[in-house]
């Protein structure tokens, strides 16, 4: 199981500081580096800049919402980042949430599965360097892209429900989750996605799971703080459904919090259920916790 880190590209992080952090994480040996795309720096552009300043570490988005970007536009962006990073970019996309798509952006969130099916039908071939001919209800596209220096870009979808997992298994390279616990990953995400890929004759899919993590001697207090800081993720319907499936009251219950032995055992469980990538959202909830957690994760690389 590869270990990656989510960096703070989503909510106003300083770009120079992010580049410096990326270099440090690469030097430490982490497998991958991911950026969310919320209301701050653009995650794809951020990864293009980071890609020019690093040499080995995989770069990815976790995740970019589909509705605001035409699939041909996001394909051009992704292929450009691939060229900038010499083939080290993975594109993570997702539907986002009705609250964002309808209330903030004014798009209809009426048929998200149909939207994603058409989106992947256009985006997937373009990311592989193929021409696309698609005549659908949402998109009508006939073109090919030529980006010098770009390699095929792995496509990951933030798929949680059965319909989205089946679409992802058939049309993408894997899933990238957030706030989904080990029981749900083992019993639902990994097998549903794997079966869909196998039925479609595709390679075994990649499963990237993002969870909060902190090394601490006071896990109860840490979970209480995490629960307050991440409370909104227990309220959004897609994450709420995964927490309910897990039997978790909220984000604090799926966080990896405890001393090195406790968190190490939790990582071992994720590895043993077949997770391909762990995406660490380090929670510096007390003095020294961020540094201690990072040092621990280095020991697990």
pLDDT for res 122:
98
Going by C-beta distance under 8 Å and a sequence separation of 6 or more, which residues neighbour residue 189? 159, 160, 165, 175, 177, 180, 207, 209
Domain boundaries, the chain: 2-158
pLDDT for res 8:
65
Q: What mean pLDDT do residues 68-97 have?
A: 98
Indicate the pLDDT class of residue 10, thresholds 50, 70 and 90: very low
pLDDT for res 38:
87
Q: Which CATH class is domain 2-158?
A: alpha beta
Q: What mean pLDDT do residues 182-195 have?
A: 98
Beta-strand runs (E) in the chain: 2-7, 32-35, 58-61, 64-65, 89-94, 132-135, 140-143, 155-157, 174-178, 206-215, 256-258, 277-282
pLDDT for res 39:
87
Looking up tokens 């892209």, which residue turns up? 145
pLDDT for res 124:
98
What rounded mean pLDDT belongs to the chain? 96
Q: pLDDT tens-digit profile of 244-290?
A: 999 999 999 999 999 999 999 999 999 999 999 999 999 999 999 99
Q: What mean pLDDT do residues 184-189 have?
A: 98
Instruction: Report the C-alpha gap between 4 and 277 in whole angstroms.
Output: 7
Structure tokens at 257: 């919090």
Q: What mean pLDDT do residues 214-223 have?
A: 97
Q: pLDDT tens-digit profile of 21-64?
A: 999 999 999 999 999 998 889 999 999 999 999 999 999 999 99
pLDDT for res 9:
44
pLDDT for res 14:
86
């Amino acid at each position: 199981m590869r270990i990656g880190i989510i960096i703070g590209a989503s909510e106003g992080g300083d770009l120079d500081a992010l580049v410096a952090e990326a270099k440090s994480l690469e030097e430490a040996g982490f497998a991958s580096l991911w950026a969310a795309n919320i209301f701050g720096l653009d995650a794809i552009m951020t990864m293009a800049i980071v890609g020019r300043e690093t040499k080995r570490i995989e770069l990815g988005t976790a995740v970019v919402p589909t509705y605001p970007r035409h699939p041909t536009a996001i394909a051009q962006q992704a292929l450009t980042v691939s060229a900038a990073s010499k083939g080290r970019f993975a594109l993570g996309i997702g539907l986002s949430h009705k609250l964002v798509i309808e209330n903030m952006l004014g798009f209809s969130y009426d048929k998200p599965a149909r939207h994603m099916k058409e989106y992947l039908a256009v985006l997937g071939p373009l990311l592989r360097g193929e021409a696309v001919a698609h005549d659908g209800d949402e998109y009508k596209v006939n073109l090919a892209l030529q980006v010098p220096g770009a390699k095929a870009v792995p496509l990951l979808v933030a798929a949680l429900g059965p319909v989205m997992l089946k679409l992802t298994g058939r049309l993408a390279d894997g899933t990238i989750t957030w706030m989904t616990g080990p029981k749900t990953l083992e019993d639902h995400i990994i097998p549903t996605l794997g079966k869909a890929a196998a039925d479609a004759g595709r390679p075994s899919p990649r499963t990237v799971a993002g969870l909060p993590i902190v090394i601490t001697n006071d896990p109860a207090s840490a979970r209480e703080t995490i629960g307050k800081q991440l409370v909104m993720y227990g309220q959004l319907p897609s994450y709420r459904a995964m927490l309910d499936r897990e039997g978790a009251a909220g984000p604090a219950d799926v966080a990896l919090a405890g001393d090195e032995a406790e968190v190490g055992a939790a990582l071992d469980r994720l590895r043993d259920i077949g997770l391909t990538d762990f995406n660490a959202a380090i929670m510096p909830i007390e003095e020294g916790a961020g540094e201690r957690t990072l040092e621990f994760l280095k020991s697990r690389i």
